[in-house]
Chains A and B, each alone.
Chain A
Amino acid sequence: MDLLIAIAIMALGALVLGAALGYAAVRFKVEGDPIVEKIDAILPQTQCGQCGFPGCKPYAEAIAKGEADINQCPPGGDEGVRKLADLLGKEYKPLSAEHGQEKPKAVAVIREELCIGCTLCIQACPVDAIVGAAKQMHTVVESLCTGCELCIKPCPVECIDMVPVPETLETWKWKYPVIEIKPADNRKAA
């Protein structure tokens, strides 16, 4: 008899807890994959496609699924890889050479006297940073350009250059304090 009561109590407990879990699974269902959002937040959003995926979000999804490595994003640079490694608990690895190298930030500039107004670059720009219309000169909105270089290839007259962004008083940064290392014999003399 005791045995039966014990089984009944355990079964009841299992039922109640199971129902609670089942309810919670429905009530607190997680929409989408939050890890994708977190990865996407680390990626630089240049949408350049150098990683081999059509944009940052698809790359984030591929990383989350384990289909892509974390070192395929040159604009994110070394620091981006480190952040991704931190987030995903993976081993840090240097940027993969086949996807390109980290470059200083540059923006596309259209040589306006050469532009024929073909609109191909406008269609190629992933972030709508080029303004212009058919048979009208185009120009790049510098503050919106992410430097993805996707507009360079489609241009039939090769009138787009990547110009590195010069340092200004607004973008200048204090450098990391460097400790001067003096030769040992100097120190002995002192």
Chain B
Amino acid sequence: MRLKRMKRELEILWQDPLLALLVGAITISLLIFVVYPLIAVFIKGFQTQDGQFTLENYRRFATFRYLQNALRNSLLVGLATGVVGVLLGYLAAFTLTRTDVPGKQLLHILLILPIISPPFVSAIAILLLFGFNGLITQKILGLQGFNIYGFKGVFLSQVFTFAPVGYLTLRGVLESLNPTLEDAAMNVGASRWQTFRRVTFPLSLPGIASAFLVIFIESLADFGNPLVLAGSRFPMLAPQAYLEITGSFNLPLGAALAVVLLIPSLTAFVIQRYYLQKRQYTTVTGKPTLSASKIVSPGARVGLYALLTGFALLILLFYGTILVGAFTAVWGHDNTLTLDHFRYAFSVGFDTIKDTLIVAILSTPISGFLGMLIAFMVVRLTFPGKGAVEFMSILNFAVPGTVVGIGYILAFNRPPLLLVGTLSILVLNFVFRYVPVGIQSGIAVLRQIDPSIEEAARNLGADGITTFRKVTLPLIAPAFFSGLVFAFVRAMTAISAAIFLVSAQWNLLTVQILNQVGSGRLGVAAAFSVILVAIVIVAVGVISRLVPRQVARIEIMRAQEG
């Protein structure tokens, strides 16, 4: 029965041979570039240096306190960052969706700024502010030998980096809760606090749990902040795996650590995706309500606004520090303004900047189109193994970059797939790592588009590919462009997987920044960061200019349709 159905589905797919080939090609490339590297990591973890089967790597994990601590520390930081990140994110999202405080637009932009920066920009800012020569610790508070390294440094840096992720997630959740529900609760006599506690909060609970898990996953996967700020007495898994490979040349142990890192990430991902997402309440019906909610009392409004502004100012302080640091001769000692760091950055790093741009410009459109194509396949086509394809395509959400990076060097180091050291391995890695966001937004938009619009195109004589090109693609343009922005930003700012894949020929800005931090040239690192953020901002501006005017109109239509 099941086989018969699969056969039938294949037959239907074959009516459109081009589409069938495309489905096949995408499935195969997902297997090669997503699944195969993970399998390679898994196998390597059970091998000795010369390829014999062994349990030694995991035995070492069980005996060495140091490696166990790495796991414990990573989980600890992940949980703490998750809790505080969600708290801050909810506060920001609630304030900006439920009150009419001034400067909402500006606050929103400040809050999402950390998302478009390389994740360890905050780490550099923290070193400049709280390090041995830190502006605050040494100059203002006069502390000598204050040590920011360890839990507090990583935690502070990650909260700064990932609270914005929580904010964006929870903003979506709170926006999709119909404020009329709150009006209704108050209408039957609930006080403001009761309304929040018994209506708003319970309804946003699945979203809160979901945001927590997303931050937890990102924190576990984070590589840059721990590498800069953890220090040798506070080992963490992701940098430890890297150090085993590049420092001790122990690839099997590195792979085993990667597998250990993968387990909590995948668990959190599966809970988030297959348990929580089904429980999210979306209560938007009819026309969106524009009126400000009455749920926030004047006193609470001031309190919330103060907290939010405080956090925004902290973000501003961090970025200001980077900017000033990039123009300061020697931070903490010689405060004269100088362009030396930029001069140096351009002289040693010009090729790196060029390489980074090439990689980003190549991978962004591929990732964008692939994302829309897969979203289309998942939502609109039936074919055997569709669930597996969907899972594979978004799996990289959950897999820490470190694991992917190790997987790629293991998987693509011999013919016919000898890619190590090439441009292709960087591009492929970025394409398949950052395609899930495009897929997710594509799926969300496609599910809103009436399927009969595509049926109408088929009915008028368009085949599957033509329908996708002439009807579906223009309609999912908003998702397409947001996927593009995300892919570009991530290609510019990613480090955890890329650090394994760069080579003498092809180097990336983020790796360069980390090297400068490593050799203590914080000013140059800051200069590189400024250059990187500037490129990202310009590029995001350009991409949003490209968005056809139709897109805005479709958005309006969709809003009208409710």
Same complex: no
List A residues at the B interface (Cβ < 8 Å).
none
